[in-house]
């Protein structure tokens, strides 16, 4: 849909950015731009970052996006839309290094940095104005520093609130900056389509359109009671956003809410026993990631995607938090078996541990039938072995077979 494609507003040479101390900084086509640093000959051409024919698009250059290629799109479809594109594999280690450097640049400006992902963050620069200049000046300096030091571009939104700053950075793309003065917030927000509001996905947008609400101004001038009847409290929250009201502060610490892992198969699998093996591998990977983060979780979720791309999820909340691969696997195996799938062709499975808390604050409880040195001790021993000898050095016995590492066919 085209509802999120807006036109960048014209910016006068001198804007009053007093009070516009919230910045949203977003790298432009981050994964593609970072990958192209080692492929300068491909700059300005359509490039897709992704893996394999059955994988999904991680990112794409703006030249590829003009053909309709988007993130998370199946690679097979992306290739059909833009057959002339060069496809490059992702380099996650590179992305992590550049992201760390960019975040360090943000922290040189202010300690109030709220990362949203590797490639975007909110900054509250109120305390930096006296030292570094106006918010717009700071935004311009950040753009220059990122370009000079990392070789990639970013777009910046400058506004009084997080919601408006994020809207502004989207309008600034690519490689631009949009400032929304305090007095312009309401007209700026209300001239947009309702699909621009946070929390308005395709389904909510359809509901709003059925009510005759096409623009944010339409929604802003609709009684809150009407919106509540249609959308519950979500309707009241949207009404606040429609008037540019967003009281949330920039939160410099963000607790990871979940850890997960998934696998897209090279060919569809319809054997439940093989699915169990893949779920076992993913469960131990998720448990390891939780332990690495010093977290435990109570809610275990399985995701299953079928050959036709239909996707279902199922969850179960445990009495006690865990970071143990075997505990996670027993839950996801039961959730999968409860689906009652008979030879269904499955394209992807995923495992996620949610409701995370600090492991030190919530010690993992042993199972009643667990020996003194139980499953968690075994997991910790595997962690130590992997740290010393590599990720494939040790794994559950049921994943050791004639197949390659992690139980996958070679």
- Dihedral of CA atoms 203, 170, 129, 125 in degrees, nearest 10, equals 40
Per the annotation, the verdict on 240 as an active-site residue is: no
Tell me which residue of 22, 10, 14, 18 sits closest to 182, measured CA to CA: 18
Helix (H, G, I), strand (E, B) or coil at 170: helix
- The two tokens of residue 213 are 């609400």
**Would you say 180 and 12 are in contact if contact means Cβ atoms under 8 Å apart?**
no
Helix (H, G, I), strand (E, B) or coil at 21: coil
Distances (CA, A) of 1 to 70, 189, 201, 205: 11, 20, 11, 11
Q: What angle do CA 352, 358, 360 make, to 5 degrees?
A: 130
Q: Is the peptide bond before 174 cis (omega within 30 degrees of 0)?
A: yes
Is 323 annotated as belonging to a binding site? no
Is 268 annotated as belonging to a binding site? no
Q: Which of 114, 120, 263, 406 is catalytic?
A: 120
**Would you say 393 and 386 are in contact if contact means Cβ atoms under 8 Å apart?**
yes
- The two tokens of residue 343 are 């030879």
Distance CA 259, CA 8 (A): 36
Q: Which residues are catalytic?
A: 120
Feature table: binding site for Mg(2+): 26, 119
Feature table: binding site: 26, 119
């Amino acid at each position: 849909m085209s509802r999120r494609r807006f036109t960048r507003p014209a910016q006068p040479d001198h804007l009053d950015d007093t009070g516009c101390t919230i910045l949203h900084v977003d790298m432009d086509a981050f994964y593609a731009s970072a990958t192209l640093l080692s492929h300068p000959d491909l700059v300005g051409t359509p490039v897709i970052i992704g893996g394999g024919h059955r994988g999904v698009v991680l990112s794409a250059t703006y030249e590829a996006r003009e053909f309709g290629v988007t993130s998370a799109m199946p690679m097979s479809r992306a290739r059909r839309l833009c057959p002339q594109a060069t496809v490059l594999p992702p380099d996650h280690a590179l992305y992590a290094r550049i992201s760390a450097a960019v975040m360090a640049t943000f922290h040189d400006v202010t300690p109030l940095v709220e990362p949203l992902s590797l490639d975007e963050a909110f900054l509250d620069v109120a305390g930096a104005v006296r030292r570094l200049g106006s918010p717009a000046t700071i935004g311009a300096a950040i753009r220059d520093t990122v370009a000079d030091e990392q070789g990639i571009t970013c777009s910046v939104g400058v506004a009084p609130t997080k919601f408006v700053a994020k809207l502004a950075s989207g309008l600034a793309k690519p490689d631009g900056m949009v400032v929304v003065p305090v007095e312009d917030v309401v007209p700026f927000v209300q001239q947009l389509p309702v699909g621009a509001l946070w929390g308005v996905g395709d389904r909510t947008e359809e509901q709003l359109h059925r009510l005759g609400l096409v623009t944010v101004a339409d929604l802003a001038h609709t009684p809150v009671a009407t919106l509540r009847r249609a959308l519950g409290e979500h309707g009241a929250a949207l009404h606040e956003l429609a008037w540019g009201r967003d009281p949330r502060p920039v939160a410099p610490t963000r607790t990871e809410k979940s850890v997960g892992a998934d696998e897209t198969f090279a060919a569809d699998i319809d054997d439940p026993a093989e699915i169990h093996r893949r779920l076992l591998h993913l469960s131990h990977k998720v448990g390891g990631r939780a332990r690495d983060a010093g977290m435990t979780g109570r809610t275990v979720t399985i995701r299953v995607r079928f050959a036709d791309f239909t996707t279902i999820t199922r969850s179960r909340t445990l009495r006690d938090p865990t970071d143990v691969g075997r505990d996670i696997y027993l839950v996801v195996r039961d959730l999968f078996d409860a689906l009652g799938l008979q030879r269904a062709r499955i394209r992807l499975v995923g495992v996620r541990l949610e409701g995370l808390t600090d492991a030190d604050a919530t010690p993992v409880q042993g199972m009643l039938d667990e020996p003194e040195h139980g499953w968690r001790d075994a997991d910790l021993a595997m962690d130590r072995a992997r740290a010393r000898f590599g990720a494939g050095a040790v794994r559950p016995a049921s994943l050791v077979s004639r197949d390659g590492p992690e139980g996958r066919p070679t």
